[in-house]
Amino acid sequence: MHQRLTLQQIPRPTGKDLTEEIYWLCDTLGLSAGRDLNNLSTQIIRAILERSIESGITSDELSTLLAISSGRVNHHLRNLSRSGIVYRERRLIHLRRRSLRDSIREMRRDADRIFDELEQVADEIDSLVGVPKNGSGKKALIIRDSFGIVLK
């Protein structure tokens, strides 16, 4: 499965309100963006944190708890799972690690692995188009035209 990581720099709430902190965390991770007008992803994360850290929670329990259809819960769970913050084990949904902090740390490691691979590919592309390695002091101007990349 492909993992989708989204990060947004959003000002952190000034107060220490639990709900505002969870909303901020989920907004920063891009979990409550787009069509999630009711912030259901955020509500699901909060429900998992409050009720199921050790044992997990089923999508049916979440559906009942949040008074929404199981289809909507499962839609949001797929997105949360794709982001890497939760996972399913049989019928139970869990945070990726034993705490929210550890789950975020694991997501950071995922991002580091993705950026490591991006850097490697960027180096290969630079080499293919003749861009000098870092520190050579020479800068290249790259002009793109309809036939490809031309170096000047």
**Whether 42 contacts 32, CB under 8 Å:** yes
Token pair for 19: 């709900």
Q: What is the pLDDT of residues 87-122, one digit of tens each?
A: 988 889 999 888 889 999 999 999 999 999 999 999
Q: What is the pLDDT of residues 25-60, one digit of tens each?
A: 888 888 876 666 678 888 999 899 887 667 889 999
| Record: fold of 18-96 | Arc Repressor Mutant, subunit A (1.10.10)
Q: What local confidence, expressed as pLDDT, does residue 32 receive?
A: 75
58, 38, 36: which is closest to 47 by C-alpha? Answer: 58
Relative orientation angle of helices 18-28 and 40-51, to the nearest 10 degrees? 120
Q: What local confidence, expressed as pLDDT, does residue 19 receive?
A: 85
Mean pLDDT of 114-143: 80
**What is the domain partition of the chain in residue ranges?**
18-96, 102-151
Share of the chain above pLDDT 90, in %: 30
pTM assigned to the model: 0.73
What are the residues facing 93 on neighbouring strands? 57, 88
Q: What local confidence, expressed as pLDDT, does residue 124 receive?
A: 92
Element (H, E) at 57: strand 57-58
Look at residue 64 and tell me whether its pLDDT is greater than 90: yes
Burial 82-119 (b: 16+ CB within 10 A, else e): ebbbbbbeeeebbbbeeebeebbeebeeeeeeeeeeee
Residues 6+ away with beta carbon under 8 Å from 124: none
